[in-house]
Structure 1
Amino acid sequence: MARPRLLSFNRLMAFSAMLSSLALGSTALGQTRKLGLEDLSAFQNPGKSWQVVGDVQAELGKENKLQTEPGKGVLVNLPKRKGAGKDLYTAFEHGDADIELDYMMAPGANSGVYLQGLYEVQLEDSWGKTDLSAASNGGVYERWDSSRPRGQEGYQGHAPRQNAGRAPGLWQHLKISFQAPRFDAQGNKVENAKILRAELNGVTIHENVELFGPTRGADSEKEVAKGPLRLQGDHGAVAFRNVTVTEYKTPQPELENLHYAIYPGRFDAEPNYANLKPESEGASATLNANLGTEARQYLLRYTGTMLVKEPGEYTFHLTTPGGGGLVKVNGKEVMPMNYWNSTGSVKLPAGKVPVEVIYAKQMDWAKPAMTLQVSGPALREFLISDKEAQLADVTDPILVDPKERPVLRSFIDLPGDHRVTHAVSVGSPEQLHYTYDMDNGALVQLWRGAFLDATPMWHERGDGSSRATGSVQLFGKPAPVLARLSSEQQAWVTDTTGTSYRQKGYRLNQRNEPTFKYQLYGSNVQDAISLLENGKGIQRQISVDQPAANLYARLADGNEIEEVSKGTYLVDGKAYYIRLDEAGGAKPLVRNIGGRQELIVPVRNRLVYSILY
């Protein structure tokens, strides 16, 4: 149950994000290599199905096919048939690493990324699928034992948390933070490998997944400290670009000889300890904010030494909700006494250096809470304070379930400090959702996965806003979809000024799908948005009663718009598709305006188009 006085929502959300990153492998100062993809020299004995090209493109409906263009920068696998391709291995090996890449699936294809050649993260064309399993796009593939009972041979697989995948032919982004297995001096495994965190298209799909052994299809059952990155090549057409591997090789610093002292009272700055007598003091094995004091406000001071195993610049991040703190290392103040969050860096030699950490609990209502994270040269950020410490007074999120096809009105905040004040977000059990701006008659965003986090709106007094929680495609600052243009080169209107725009609400059909109604330029407009089969996209039907002269609709606005087949367009570097379904004979136009491209079409009485995502 929340306390009467809670953190402001911005601080609460920042703290929640920090919690999710603890010990999950955020990129720090690791050694990063980017695969140039000018040729295949980064790989061992590449098979004939692999090649380097300049660009790739899929055609929806053509199974397992990718078209290529000459050039460099894109790695593509084009097996002539399933099973004919060959897996691709990097010439280097990795241990602890962050792997980051873009990939594109052909329709119906699947592939995989094998960490160290042993542990597979599945890549699959999951477009139109809502059931999730270890074989879904982004799943950690199962292990296999043929001696187990029939139907139970596969085990210890992990489905992704959400279906955050996109349509075939669109670029997708995968990031994996991997921790290699640990071995003792005799070569015995003492700790399993882990996927600390995996993100697909900006959505967390795995956290702290322990890998008890190689997954099905691994090269070997023998686990190793280092192994090559492996790209599966025998299952389907797939392309990769922007492949980077950040390795972490430095042993973690260790704290030794910790001594604590507790001083009751409120402290906003570091005191002169010579004039203070501690309430209690003693030795401690870890940094922990809660040592059992009855004082509601107090200062906790730790002193000790840090064993630094590799010289270089180290970064410290101290979190002290409900209070302040500071860190000194090797006689230097890494960060001053600061409230809530502090970050600072310092260059350290190898060896033992003195360390001082202070936690000042200033808010009497807060529970004791402190974390200290450290990163450094080729060292992934890790939690050096007590891993069992309770970081308290963070509310559980209030998530809206899309199973009942909710229609929710709220504020929606967009990048650039723009707030949509009359937003309507529409959810679906098919896990594709959108937000509509009733002030402009505009689509704001479309996303796949979970629906809305309504915590900022419904927790305590709230601020009226909610947030999309899946893989989001934004459509820029809201502007009317319809506008009168004196010529095909007139700039698009940015708001409804001068259009006689009047919002008339919306009505719901039997599937709880809204048709938005408004007046524009004296015409009555109905804007009906419905879900395509299996959640592959949305279809928008705009009906205009007695449309004004020179009325146009803007279907897309982006840096790049290309027609890939008759009536079908790719927008913004293969981020999503626009398909023109019905235009009453009107011809669409891709035009260049202010360094950007727009897809516009004259509007007669009825216009129908789809967004495929």
Structure 2
Amino acid sequence: MNKLKRMLCNVPVFLWICFPLAVIAQSNGQQNKLPLTDLSAFKLAKSWQIAGDVIMNPEKAGALSIVKGTGVLVNVFDEKKKGEDLLTQMQHGDMDMEMDYMMARGSNSGIYLQGLYEIQLADSWGATDAKASDNGGIYERWDDARPEGQRGYDGHAPRQNVTRAPGVWQHIKISFQAPKFDGAGKKTENARILLVELNGIRIQDNVELSGPTRGALSQQETANGPLRLQGDHGSVAFRNISYTLYNKPRPELLNLNYAVYKGKFDGEPDYKTAAPEAKGTSVLLSSNVNTLQNDFLIHYTGDIKVAEPGEYSFNLSVPGGSGIMRVAGNPVVTVKENGGTGKVTLKAGTTPFDLYYSKVVDWARPALGLVVAGPGVREYLISDGNVPSSDMVDPILINVTGKNSLLRCFIDLRDGKRVTHAINVGSSAQVHYTYDADNGMLVQLWRGGFLDATPMWHDRGDGSSRATGFALQFGSAKPAINKLSDATAAWGSDTTGTGFKTIGYKLDKDKKPAFSYSIYGTVVTDATTVLDGGQGIERVIELQQPADKLYYRVVAADKIEEIGKGLYIINDKSYYLHLSDDSGKPIIRNSGLQEELIVPISKKLTYSILF
């Protein structure tokens, strides 16, 4: 790694600043992109600028290169001049948002929702004990009046540390629910972080915020406030910032009347002539107006009131039976078994609706649920909360035991392809990989939980599992080693004619495997080791009998860019790949719609993947 540090320190640094003009428009209930063609979407701060690209040295704190252009928002941190926080012109209440961000080595930043509640951004790469101050944490509140050592409180660490290397793009999704106030301005409901998903992994879930976190713009909570990006603790870059605002009044169900009919119903009775078991009015859509547990039908009529015209979606839950929801006499959701969805365009104001729930299955608990979402309205339960998850399947998750765990199975990849002879290797450092025994190649690599084996063991199962984290993939399944007439020859798509034969693997004392196979008359040993701090992996491939014109395909990707001798950044700054000095001369070449990095191999090849 010392050689890697030296090479990265030689990446040139240059700055370019431009401040053209543009306008930002708000809309409600639709995904909007924050324009990054200039800084007009923000209240100006001197340390921020717009760029076309940015390169951050993963081994040197604060070092970065900026490329002229648009689309990337960059905070250039200077210890002497410090930096400033950046506020959007846009104000928000309830909001979903997502963005890519890149951290410089040792950098610290944050996303302040409404300028008050901070989701921490930090270079926590390799941290083993995640805290609220680590990447993806909800930062703590602060009270100087509390006893020493207790002044920081109500912080929430991420469930696990899935931080990627400094200098690569990371992706975050946030769902935020703003505090609620009555007509007199009194707070009636605390703000909530409904979801934080980092690099494809859920790390925060339904966290109530008792008040503003430390460093907030104010201690006064409001229904709306600006988005704030922290810029005073290090260099950071953002791109692809999108958001959806939910600031319209929720739909209401009014004038609810119900009638309960006893019996098994395949369809609806004639409501004009059938005698109901019970009937009345209700302030809430619920199955609790009925005392029967089975063999009944509940029919509701009423009005649905919306403030914003547009398309609304409905999800109707009727456990143990069937049902229908009609709006203005037209079917919107038709349910034959347990639940269903549908959409309808509504005008502002009230529209008549009706629905029924017929229950015939003895073992199911009665529960009528209706969920609605629409323009400017986040999905919510408009009926009572007595809705069971009877159709949910509890996931069957496999965790790592000891330092390493192995599982052989089919593995389904992100691109939908299946590896039929996969060996999955999990580590206690929460860095895991899949090895394709049919081709002797590394298929995928991920950080977080190990395997979701629900498809393999639920019901009859299909023998497959999937990674529980967002996995890096290294190209389609092809032999890792090929004999080529020259470096331009096509790579073989299978092992036909290569003499390929799987030998198996040997485990060391920590159950770490070293795989072996024969190909082109030589025996290959393939061993992978997780780097300290879980920062990536190192791979060592050794050949017992050298052979002529053998090449190793290290990776196939959409983009492979060399940024230093033996150092590459892959797929739009997704991860780093470092080839050791003992490798042959690497070659980047086109292969259909992708690029390949291949290396001539005689005795040994060592390379690392940092992510």
| TM-score, length basis structure 1 | 0.90
State how far apart, in whole Å, the 2-side matches of 1:305 and 1:454 are: 45
Is the Cα contact below 8 Å between 1:524 and 1:544 reproduced in 2?
A: yes
State how far apart, in whole Å, the 1-side matches of 2:80 and 2:385 are: 46
Is the Cα contact below 8 Å between 2:192 and 2:208 reproduced in 1?
A: yes
* 1:564 is the counterpart of 2:560: no
State the one-letter code of the partner of 2:139. Y
Q: Partner residue of 2:539?
A: 540
Give the drift of 1:516: 1.0
SS in 2 for 1:250: coil
Q: 2:131 aligns with which of 133, 142, 148?
A: 133
Is the Cα contact below 8 Å between 1:288 and 1:389 reproduced in 2?
A: no
State the one-letter code of the partner of 2:579. L
Q: Partner residue of 1:243?
A: 241
Q: Partner residue of 1:101?
A: 99
Is the Cα contact below 8 Å between 2:262 and 2:296 reproduced in 1?
A: yes
Give the drift of 1:370: 4.6
State the one-letter code of the partner of 2:441. A
Is the Cα contact below 8 Å between 2:264 and 2:359 reproduced in 1?
A: yes
Give the drift of 1:441: 1.6
Cα distance change on mapping 1:493 and 1:181 into 2, 3 Å = same
State how far apart, in whole Å, the 1-side matches of 2:338 and 2:419 are: 30
Identical-pair percentage: 54
Q: Partner residue of 2:174?
A: 176
Q: Partner residue of 1:3?
A: none
Q: Partner residue of 2:158?
A: 160
Q: Partner residue of 1:72?
A: 70
Q: Partner residue of 1:382?
A: 380
State how far apart, in whole Å, the 2-side matches of 1:58 and 1:271 are: 69
Cα distance change on mapping 1:189 and 1:605 into 2, 3 Å = same
Cα distance change on mapping 1:488 and 1:170 into 2, 3 Å = same
Cα distance change on mapping 1:520 and 1:50 into 2, 3 Å = same
Q: Partner residue of 2:394?
A: 396
Give the drift of 1:411: 1.9
Give the drift of 1:245: 2.2
Is the Cα contact below 8 Å between 1:40 and 1:46 reproduced in 2?
A: no
Which stretch of the first structure deviates more once superposed, 278-287 or 548-557? 278-287
Q: Partner residue of 1:220?
A: 218
State how far apart, in whole Å, the 1-side matches of 2:290 and 2:569 are: 61
Is the Cα contact below 8 Å between 2:441 and 2:478 reproduced in 1?
A: yes
Q: Partner residue of 1:439?
A: 438
The correspondence of residues 22-101 of structure 1 with structure 2, limited to 5 A, is 30-47=29-46, 49-81=47-79, 84-101=82-99
Give the drift of 1:568: 1.0
State how far apart, in whole Å, the 2-side matches of 1:546 and 1:321 are: 65
State how far apart, in whole Å, the 1-side matches of 2:151 and 2:563 are: 43
State how far apart, in whole Å, the 2-side matches of 1:370 and 1:582 are: 66
State how far apart, in whole Å, the 1-side matches of 2:102 and 2:209 are: 26
SS in 1 for 2:168: coil
Cα distance change on mapping 1:182 and 1:559 into 2, 3 Å = same
State how far apart, in whole Å, the 2-side matches of 1:93 and 1:164 are: 30
Which stretch of the first structure deviates more once superposed, 385-394 or 508-517? 385-394
State how far apart, in whole Å, the 1-side matches of 2:481 and 2:338 are: 47
Cα distance change on mapping 1:590 and 1:369 into 2, 3 Å = farther
Is the Cα contact below 8 Å between 1:560 and 1:572 reproduced in 2?
A: yes
Q: Partner residue of 2:121?
A: 123
Give the drift of 1:278: 4.2
Q: Partner residue of 1:454?
A: 453
Give the drift of 1:252: 0.5
Cα distance change on mapping 1:445 and 1:278 into 2, 3 Å = farther
State how far apart, in whole Å, the 1-side matches of 2:280 and 2:64 are: 66
Q: CA offsets, 1:541-593, max 9 Å, x none?
A: 11112244321111111111101111111111011111112444x10011112
5+ long unaligned stretches in structure 2: 1-26
Is the Cα contact below 8 Å between 1:83 and 1:235 reproduced in 2?
A: no
Is the Cα contact below 8 Å between 1:117 and 1:219 reproduced in 2?
A: yes
Is the Cα contact below 8 Å between 1:556 and 1:571 reproduced in 2?
A: no
Give the drift of 1:261: 3.7
Is the Cα contact below 8 Å between 1:320 and 1:371 reproduced in 2?
A: yes
State the one-letter code of the partner of 1:218. A
Q: What RMSD in Å do the two structures reach over aligned CA positions? A: 2.3
Give the drift of 1:506: 1.1
Is the Cα contact below 8 Å between 2:367 and 2:386 reproduced in 1?
A: no
State how far apart, in whole Å, the 2-side matches of 1:488 and 1:293 are: 77
Q: CA offsets, 1:29-84, max 9 Å, x none?
A: 7144322211111111322x111111011222111222111111101111111881
Q: Partner residue of 1:424?
A: 423
Give the drift of 1:104: 0.3
Which stretch of the first structure deviates more once superposed, 503-512 or 236-245? 503-512
State how far apart, in whole Å, the 2-side matches of 1:351 and 1:150 are: 56
Q: Partner residue of 2:578?
A: 579
Is the Cα contact below 8 Å between 1:265 and 1:295 reproduced in 2?
A: no
SS in 1 for 2:479: coil
Q: Partner residue of 2:312?
A: 314
Aligned pairs, how many? 584
Q: CA offsets, 1:513-542, max 9 Å, x none?
A: 111111112221111111111110011111
State the one-letter code of the partner of 1:313. E
Q: Partner residue of 1:413?
A: 412
Give the drift of 1:209: 1.0
Q: Partner residue of 2:510?
A: 511
Is the Cα contact below 8 Å between 1:582 and 1:607 reproduced in 2?
A: no
Give the drift of 1:600: 0.6
State how far apart, in whole Å, the 2-side matches of 1:435 and 1:510 are: 20
